[in-house]
Amino acid sequence: MKRQIYLFATSKHPDAISSRSLEVRFLKPQIDFTKYDYLIITSKQTVKALEQYKKEEFINIQALCVSVKTAASYENFGGKILEIGDGYGDNLVKNIKEKSKDKKWLYLRAEFIASDFVERCQNDGYDIDEEILYVSECSNEGMEVDVKENSILIFTSPSSIECFLKTHTIGLDAKVVVIGRTTAASLPDGIECKISEKTSIESCMEMAFSLQA
């Protein structure tokens, strides 16, 4: 019998029991977009949050996007892409440091973030402001899901692990797949995992399929 796949994310997949581990609450701080040369966008939730603003205020400002998926979301929204990262926030330092220190950046972000790439760039003299556009909170759906033994668990962020562990433990019989090194580092000690080749749910599912037998 194939192992059941559970996906803990804000998106669904037809071949998994998809459990929305996080609820997203959008914020709308006042922002003077005219001050900035570039935007930094590290999630599709940021793009959704930008729908609250008048598009003409920011749509012509090029954005550094963390991944292909995030860039596609912003481009579909009508935004202009400066560069696309490799899926890891930590590695955006390289992209930023290729630009002049005279440029002013705006990082549109979640309340809690796993990477300190902005602080590292600021310490080196790069001018980066930050605005919190959304808050992720644990959902009842994610905490109440009934997980069978010998399952495959897919976690897509450190927060998805944190919320799951509020009401569950990760059994030693479970197989764990995660998006990225930062998410892997959030697992409890002693829990082994497989890291998806790409920072996408599709890549996680491919990894999970290989573990089903």
Q: Is the pLDDT of residue 150 over 80?
A: yes
pTM for this model (two decimals): 0.78
Rounded average pLDDT over 19-40 = 95
Mean pLDDT of the chain, nearest integer: 94
pLDDT tier at 141, thresholds 50, 70, 90:
confident
Last residue of a domain, which of 119, 137, 155?
137
pLDDT tier at 199, thresholds 50, 70, 90:
confident
Q: Tell me how far apart the alpha carbons of residues 25 and 21 are, in angstroms, rounded to a whole number.
A: 13
Instruction: Find the domain containing 42 and state its range.
Output: 25-137
Q: What per-residue confidence (pLDDT) applies to 20?
A: 87
pLDDT tier at 101, thresholds 50, 70, 90:
very high
Q: What per-residue confidence (pLDDT) applies to 10?
A: 82
Q: Are 131 and 50 in contact (CB under 8 A)?
A: no
Last residue of a domain, which of 107, 137, 167?
137
Rounded average pLDDT over 93-118 = 95
The tokens describing 124, both together, are: 């080196």
Q: Looking at the structure, do residues 115 and 199 belong to the same domain, yes or no?
A: no
Rounded average pLDDT over 178-188 = 91
Q: Looking at the structure, do residues 181 and 158 belong to the same domain, yes or no?
A: yes
Q: Looking at the structure, do residues 114 and 152 belong to the same domain, yes or no?
A: no
CA 158 to chain centre: 9
pLDDT digits (tens, 9 = 90+) for 11-29: 889 999 999 888 899 999 9
Rounded average pLDDT over 180-208 = 92
Q: What per-residue confidence (pLDDT) applies to 207?
A: 96
pLDDT tier at 142, thresholds 50, 70, 90:
confident
The tokens describing 84, both together, are: 């696309």
Q: Tell me how far apart the alpha carbons of residues 196 and 155 are, in angstroms, rounded to a whole number.
A: 10
Q: Is the pLDDT of residue 114 over 90?
A: no
Tally of structural domains, the chain:
2
Exposure pattern of 193-204 as b/e (b: 16+ CB <10 Å)?
bbbbebbbbebb
Q: Looking at the structure, do residues 34 and 79 belong to the same domain, yes or no?
A: yes
Q: Looking at the structure, do residues 40 and 88 belong to the same domain, yes or no?
A: yes
CATH of the domain at 55: 3.40.50.10090
Rounded average pLDDT over 157-171 = 92
Q: Long-range contacts of range 199-202, CB-CB < 8 Å, 24 or more positions apart?
A: 199/67, 199/69, 199/87, 199/88, 200/67, 200/69, 200/87, 201/7, 201/9, 201/11, 201/13, 201/154, 201/156
Rounded average pLDDT over 50-69 = 96
- Pairing type for strands 22-26 and 127-138 reads antiparallel
Q: Looking at the structure, do residues 122 and 39 belong to the same domain, yes or no?
A: yes
Q: Looking at the structure, do residues 60 and 151 belong to the same domain, yes or no?
A: no
Q: What per-residue confidence (pLDDT) applies to 11?
A: 85
Q: Looking at the structure, do residues 190 and 154 belong to the same domain, yes or no?
A: yes
Q: Looking at the structure, do residues 147 and 70 belong to the same domain, yes or no?
A: no
Q: Looking at the structure, do residues 165 and 82 belong to the same domain, yes or no?
A: no
Q: What per-residue confidence (pLDDT) applies to 181?
A: 86
